[in-house]
Amino acid sequence: MDPVTSGILVVIALVVLMAIGTPIAFALGAVAVGALVLDRGMGELTYFGETFFGAVASFGFVAIPMFILMGAAVASSPTGRDLYRSLDLWMGRLPGGLAISNIAACSIFAALSGSSPATSAAIGKLGIPEMRKRGYPDGVAAGCIAAGGTLGILIPPSVTMIVYGISTETSIGRLFIAGAIPGLMLAGLFMVWTLIACKLAGGYNTPSAIVEAAAKVKDNVQANSRALIRVIPFLVVVAGILFALYGGVATPSEAAGIGAFLCLALAIIIYRMWQAKPLINIMRDALRESVMIMLIIAAAEIFAFALSSLFITQTVAGGIADMEVNRWVLMGAINLFLLVAGFFLPPVAVIVMAAPILLPIILEANFDPYWFAVILTINLEIGLITPPVGLNLFIIKGIAPDIALRDILMGSLPYALCMVLAIILLCIFPEIVTWLPDLIMGPEL
């Protein structure tokens, strides 16, 4: 069977398995094993165990469960509540200020947790009911949280950036720096659209909340200042981790381990989480997400091995490389491919499978690999708030089950367009990505 036909059948089988609810890792593994056995025979199964376990045997992957544990410690503590209350005090008086403060809270919480689902859940549980109570439309309330949650895979430290760095053998520290300014820029675009959406809907000055706050302004300032003080130690830990990475003081795995320990200790000390139950819940959540990501990475490696063995990846890569088109047309085709893949697969799976294939093509076209990492990440963020997978959409639906999924989707789509605008801006001004890494770590040779 020729590689093109094999590729079509593999894609159809994968889509069918995911459509009937098969977990991503099992779908990838089943399709890969089935394709290998049908094409090469049962003897191919001898490579299964070696490839599966070899995919996650890299020391660099130790950073993933450690960063996840760090995020779980933050997400399971009242840190999100304190952060939300503090920002609401200072920004809640602006027209649409409560929604804007939710985006700001998502941006900061993303840096603390490094996880899009954790960010959406932690801030959404507080922000969505409060916005609805103050009269915000359901679409605005749900959309700004769903979109704000996507910043978790871009603003450092980011688990997906670690996966990209290991998959492409690029510097994880440099990837973290590269994502900082684009992450803030994207948060700014989200805030601008939120303000516009609130203006179009009539504006939200939340007068009743302001009158109530004016009567208790001293108490509110004191209470929210104390809440902000409780958040600051966690921000210091994140800053210390980034300094250790950028300064070459520690490897990503070492920095992640120290960060996880410190965030867990801070959660216990600051919020008095002495009981066994919250600590068990933190470990359970971290273990569950870590195993899920590691299974996806291992299964995606098996899938990539199967595609390579069937010469599907070589055929696709060769076809892309042989396209005699302008390099920006090539970049457009790659982004279209990533967009479609992101509709069906989580970011980690897409990166493990696609990044090693696309990197040589990107370098041949004279694109910066770190710039491309940011473009790829923003592109995959779109998949988090668009169907059929749209992980953040379903998290918001779980938080606010009485909001129609259509309203959540329609409220999120303008933010997807903001991400497209961000990609265009980064294509026009690549220095937005490359300036800070070159300033801190020097130009790459």
* DSSP letters for 70-87: HHHHHHHTTHHHHHHHHH
Question: By the 8 A CB rule, do 394 and 402 touch?
Answer: no
pLDDT reported for residue 44:
67
- pLDDT of residue 220 exceeding 70, the answer is no
Length of the chain (residues):
445
- pLDDT of residue 15 exceeding 60, the answer is yes
Higher pLDDT, 377 or 326: 377
Cα–Cα distance measured from residue 334 to residue 346, given in angstroms and rounded to the nearest whole number: 17
Element (H, E) at 423: helix 405-428
Residue 130, C-beta contacts closer than 8 angstroms, at least 6 positions apart? 88, 98
pLDDT reported for residue 389:
67
Question: By the 8 A CB rule, do 361 and 321 touch?
Answer: yes
pLDDT reported for residue 368:
94
For 36-46, what is the mean pLDDT?
77
Higher pLDDT, 52 or 240: 240
pLDDT reported for residue 54:
76
Question: By the 8 A CB rule, do 136 and 128 touch?
Answer: no
- pLDDT of residue 184 exceeding 70, the answer is yes
pLDDT reported for residue 211:
39
Residue 87, C-beta contacts closer than 8 angstroms, at least 6 positions apart? 101, 102, 104, 105, 108
pLDDT reported for residue 352:
84
- pLDDT of residue 210 exceeding 50, the answer is no
- pLDDT of residue 92 exceeding 70, the answer is no
pLDDT tens digit string along 399-421? 788 888 888 888 889 999 999 99
> How much of the chain exceeds pLDDT 90, in percent?
13
> Would you report the helix, strand and coil content of the chain in percent, each value rounded to 5?
80, 0, 20
pLDDT grade for 426, boundaries at 50, 70 and 90: very high
pLDDT tens digit string along 101-131? 888 888 888 777 777 777 787 788 778 887 8
Cα–Cα distance measured from residue 204 to residue 98, given in angstroms and rounded to the nearest whole number: 8
Cα–Cα distance measured from residue 266 to residue 331, given in angstroms and rounded to the nearest whole number: 44
pLDDT reported for residue 156:
83
Question: By the 8 A CB rule, do 98 and 136 touch?
Answer: yes
- pLDDT of residue 75 exceeding 80, the answer is no
pLDDT reported for residue 95:
63
For 325-341, what is the mean pLDDT?
87
